[in-house]
């Protein structure tokens, strides 16, 4: 388990991270979402023990991470712009990391290298951005660590490669004790892989929730009421997060389980009603608007 407790970090007059606290359970995929400058990379670097926090603490399986080789042996950190030694080849990468990580899987490294179509003898500085990201992911998976931290890992990968990497993550989680933590500025990118998402804004955690719980407890309903009186009566029974109306068609975002909402509308006098699932984007928009923020400006552009 990863425990992040009141992390704070400043660079001169810039307060990059302000009291961030999250718990990341084992065997789940945690997504760290936020705009550029929200503090994602700084948080990940403190979680990896690369940076020392000004205040706060990161515990990895009850061990402090910073300046602790036993804790760091359990994690692999892939930076936004992975660093490789000058004139190194993928073969050199394997030699280096196999000397650092005891359980580094050389066979898996070369197998993935072949699957991704990367030349093991080609100089890495001639690789494209996407190819360098692929090589960093291969090294991270082959290190066979319990935790893998990924900073904008999918940035630079084409859609097919993104899905391929997500499938590999899912398979690794099925086969062993593996917990990826993925930071991204793109909410849509993580919707189909994350179990829990934390939203960073201006250095602090705006929202941190389990996705399944969120999806189960908020619904979207499209309906046409038979009369204004019936509309008022039904709406008074619901905890409404968001409400829109175009002509006679009302679109409601309401809190409650699907079964509870269906029961309310089954007893209502409606000309039409339908309970629909919400996308992760729609859920976050609803949750953050309640708190007075416009997530569309924060992370959706």
Q: Per residue in 18-29, pLDDT tens? A: 888 888 888 889
Judge contact between 20 and 4, C-beta under 8 A: yes
Highest mean pLDDT among 13-17, 66-70, 164-168, 216-220: 66-70
- In order of start, what are the domains of the chain with their CATH numbers? 2-209 (3.40.50.300), 217-298 (3.30.70.120)
Kindly list the distances between the CA atom of residue 102 and the CA atoms of 70, 99, 266, 283, in Å, as whole numbers in the listed order: 12, 7, 60, 42
* pLDDT band (50, 70, 90) for residue 32: confident
Question: What is the spatial distance between Cα 35 and Cα 152, in angstroms, rounded to a whole number?
Answer: 11
Average pLDDT of the segment spanning 40-54? 91
Q: Is the pLDDT of residue 297 over 60?
A: no
What are the structure tokens assigned to 109, written together?
């490294």
Q: Is 23 exposed, middle or buried (0-12, 13-18, 19+ CB in 10 A)?
A: middle
Q: Which residues contact 62 (CB under 8 A, 6 or more apart)?
A: 1
157-206: pLDDT as tens digits: 788 888 888 888 888 888 888 999 998 877 777 777 888 888 887 777 76
| Confidence (pLDDT) at 109 | 95
Query: Is-above-0.75 flag for pTM?
Result: yes
% pLDDT > 90, the chain: 49
Residue holding tokens 């995929």? 29
Average pLDDT of the segment spanning 88-107? 93
Judge contact between 218 and 281, C-beta under 8 A: no
What are the structure tokens assigned to 300, written together?
């959706």
Q: Which residues contact 98 (CB under 8 A, 6 or more apart)?
A: 104, 106
* pLDDT band (50, 70, 90) for residue 283: confident
Compute the radius of gyration of the chain from its Cα atoms: 23
What are φ and ψ of residue 233, in 5° steps? Answer: -65, -45
Q: Is the pLDDT of residue 300 over 60?
A: no
What are the structure tokens assigned to 172, written together?
């690794």
% pLDDT > 70, the chain: 94
- Please, what is the average pLDDT of the chain? 87
């Amino acid at each position: 388990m990863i425990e992040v407790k009141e992390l704070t970090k400043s660079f001169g007059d810039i307060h990059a991270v302000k009291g961030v606290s999250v718990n990341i359970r084992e065997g789940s995929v945690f997504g760290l979402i936020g705009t550029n400058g929200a503090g994602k990379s700084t948080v990940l670097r403190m979680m990896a023990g690369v940076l020392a926090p000004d205040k706060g603490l990161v515990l990895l399986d009850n061990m402090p991470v910073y300046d602790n080789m036993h804790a760091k042996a359990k994690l692999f950190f892939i930076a936004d712009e992975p660093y490789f030694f000058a004139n190194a080849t993928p073969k050199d990468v394997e030699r280096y990391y196999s000397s650092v990580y005891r359980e580094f899987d050389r066979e898996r490294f070369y197998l993935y290298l072949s699957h991704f179509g990367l030349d093991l003898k080609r100089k890495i500085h001639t690789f494209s951005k996407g190819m360098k990201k692929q090589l960093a992911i291969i090294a991270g998976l082959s290190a066979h660590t319990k935790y893998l931290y990924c900073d904008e890992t999918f940035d630079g990968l084409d859609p097919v490669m993104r899905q391929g990497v997500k499938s590999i993550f899912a398979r690794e989680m099925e086969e062993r004790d593996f917990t990826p933590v993925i930071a991204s500025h793109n909410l849509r990118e993580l919707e189909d892989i994350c179990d829990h998402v934390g939203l960073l804004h201006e250095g602090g955690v705006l929202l941190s929730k389990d996705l399944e719980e969120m999806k189960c407890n908020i619904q979207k309903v499209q309906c046409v009421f038979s009369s204004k009186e019936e509309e008022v009566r039904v709406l008074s029974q619901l905890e409404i997060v968001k409400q829109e109306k175009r002509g006679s068609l009302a679109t409601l975002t309401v809190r409650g389980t699907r079964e509870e909402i269906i029961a309310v509308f089954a007893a209502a006098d409606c000309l039409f009603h339908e309970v629909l699932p919400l996308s992760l984007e729609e859920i976050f928009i609803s949750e953050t608007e309640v708190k007075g923020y416009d997530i569309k400006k924060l992370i959706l552009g």
